[in-house]
C-alpha cells in the first residue's frame, strides 16, 4: 500500500524583489517518515519552511496538508492545524522560565487560553505536560531558569520542547543542532530518532550535518539554488554524482 502523503507543496515559489529564493518546488512528505532537506547555504530551505508555516506568503503555488489547501493562512492557524516548527536562529521568550515557556506551548493546544477569570495554575494538565516534555528533552532541573540565561545547547533543547508541547503531527525542524557543542549532538539526534520511532509524527528536517541526516532520514531531498536537485533514500543520495558536485560547488 502506498503511504499517505501528509504534506505537499505544489510548484511553490517565492521571489524577493525578483530574486527567486524558492523556484517551483513540489515536495511530497509521507506520513510517519523523517524527510530531510539538505543543500548548500542559500538553497532556499529556510524560506521553504517559512512558506509552509505561514511566516511568508508564497508568490505562487500551493501548500497542502492532508490534501487541504493551507496556502496563505496566518501562522497561528497553521500551527493549530498541527504543523509545528522550530527555528534555526534561537527564537524564544527571553524572560520567561523554561517551565513557563513550555507551559504556554502546552496551553496553546487547549481551548482555555481565553479564560481570563481563572488562575492559570488551576489547569495542572498543562504544567504536567510541560514537565514531562522538559524531562523528555533533557532540561530537567532547569525549569526555573529564564530562557535568556540558558547556555546555547539548552536553548536549542527548549526550542524543541516548545515545538513538542504544542503536540503537532507534522514537525518542521530547522537545523536543530545549529551551534550545538559536538558532545551535545548525539543527545538531540537520539531525541529525534525516538520521536520518529514513537510513530504518529511526520518530521521534515533541515540539517547541515551529513552524518546526522544520513543516520536519521527515510528520504532526503536535495535543494540547490531554490530548486529540487535530487530526491531519494539516503543510499541513493550519497551515490548521486550531481549532489556531490553541488556540494563541491561545481554546479
Partner 1 sequence: MEKTGFPLWLRRHWPGLVILTLMSLFPFLAGLAMGDPAAVPPEIQGVGRVLALAETGRAKFWQGMVIQMFILAVFAMSYDLLLGYTGVISFGHAMFFGTGGYVVGLLVKHAGWSAGAAVGVLLLVALLQSLMVGALSLRVKGVYLAMVTLAFAEFFYILAEATDFRQYTGADDGLHGIYPPPFLSPTDHRTRFYFLALVFFLTMYLAARRLVNSPTGRVMVAIRENEARAAMLGYNTFVYKLVALVAAGVMAALAGALNAFFNLGVTPSVLSVATTIDVLAMTIVGGAGTLTGPVLGAAIVHLLGYWLNRLFGQTWVLLFGVTFILIVVFLPYGIVGTVQARSWRWRAVWRERWRRIKEGRKFPLPS
Number of residues that bind partner 1 (CB under 8 A): 36
Cα–Cα dist 156/142, whole Å: 14
List the grid coordinates of 10. 505544489
Cα–Cα dist 239/168, whole Å: 33
Give yes or no for residue 116 binding partner 1 (CB under 8 A): yes
Give yes or no for residue 141 binding partner 1 (CB under 8 A): no
Q: How far is the CB of 116 from partner 1 (least distance, A)?
A: 4
Cα–Cα dist 97/115, whole Å: 22
Give yes or no for residue 117 binding partner 1 (CB under 8 A): yes
Tell me if 89 sits within 8 A of 159, measured CB to CB: no
Give yes or no for residue 152 binding partner 1 (CB under 8 A): no
Give yes or no for residue 109 binding partner 1 (CB under 8 A): yes
State which of residues 14, 35, 103, 157 lies at the interface with partner 1 (CB under 8 A): 103
Q: Which is nearer to partner 1, 68 or 182 (CB)?
A: 68
Cα–Cα dist 195/189, whole Å: 10
Q: Which of 79, 7, 82 is nearest to 48 (CA)?
A: 7
Secondary structure (3-state) at 174: strand
Which residues within the stretch 118-137 sit at the binding site for partner 1 (CB under 8 A)?
118-121, 123
Beta strands in 49-142 (DSSP E): 60-65, 68-69, 83-86
Q: Which is nearer to partner 1, 108 or 210 (CB)?
A: 108
How does strand 60-65 pair with strand 5-16? antiparallel
One character per residue 49-78, x = contact with partner 1 (rule: CB under 8 A): ----x-x------------------xxxx-
The DSSP letter of residue 71 is: T
Residue 30 sits at φ, ψ, to 5 deg, of: -90, 150
State which of residues 100, 174, 175, 207 lies at the interface with partner 1 (CB under 8 A): 100
Secondary structure (3-state) at 206: strand
Give yes or no for residue 144 binding partner 1 (CB under 8 A): no
State which of residues 64, 96, 131, 178 lies at the interface with partner 1 (CB under 8 A): 96
Which residues within the stretch 163-222 sit at the binding site for partner 1 (CB under 8 A)?
166
Q: Which is nearer to partner 1, 128 or 211 (CB)?
A: 128
Instruction: Catalog residues that contact partner 1 under the rule CB under 8 A.
Output: 53, 55, 74-77, 79-80, 85, 91-96, 100-101, 103-105, 107-109, 112-121, 123, 162, 166
Amino acid at each position: 500500500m502506498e503511504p499517505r502523503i501528509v504534506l505537499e507543496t505544489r510548484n511553490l515559489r517565492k521571489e524577493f524583489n525578483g530574486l527567486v529564493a524558492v523556484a517551483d518546488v513540489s515536495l511530497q512528505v509521507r506520513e510517519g517518515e523523517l524527510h530531510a532537506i539538505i543543500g548548500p547555504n542559500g538553497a532556499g530551505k529556510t524560506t521553504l519552511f517559512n512558506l509552509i508555516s505561514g511566516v511568508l506568503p508564497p508568490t505562487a503555488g500551493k501548500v497542502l496538508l492532508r490534501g487541504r489547501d493551507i496556502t496563505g493562512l496566518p501562522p497561528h492557524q497553521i500551527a493549530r492545524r498541527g504543523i509545528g516548527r522550530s527555528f534555526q536562529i534561537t527564537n524564544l521568550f527571553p524572560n520567561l522560565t523554561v517551565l513557563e515557556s513550555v507551559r504556554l506551548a502546552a496551553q496553546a493546544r487547549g481551548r482555555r487560553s481565553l479564560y481570563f477569570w481563572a488562575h492559570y495554575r488551576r489547569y495542572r494538565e498543562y504544567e504536567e505536560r510541560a514537565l514531562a516534555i522538559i524531562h523528555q528533552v533533557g532540561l530537567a532541573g532547569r525549569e526555573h531558569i529564564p530562557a535568556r540565561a540558558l547556555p546555547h545547547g539548552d536553548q536549542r533543547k527548549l526550542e524543541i520542547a516548545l515545538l513538542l508541547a504544542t503536540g503537532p503531527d507534522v514537525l518542521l525542524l530547522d537545523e536543530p543542532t545549529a551551534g550545538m557543542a559536538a558532545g551535545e549532538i548525539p543527545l538531540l539526534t537520539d531525541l529525534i530518532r525516538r520521536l520518529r520511532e514513537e510513530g504518529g509524527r511526520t518530521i521534515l528536517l533541515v540539517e547541515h550535518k551529513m552524518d546526522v541526516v544520513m543516520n536519521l532520514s527515510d528520504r532526503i531531498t536535495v535543494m540547490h539554488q531554490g530548486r529540487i536537485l535530487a530526491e531519494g533514500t539516503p543510499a541513493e543520495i550519497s551515490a548521486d554524482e550531481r549532489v556531490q558536485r553541488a556540494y563541491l560547488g561545481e554546479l
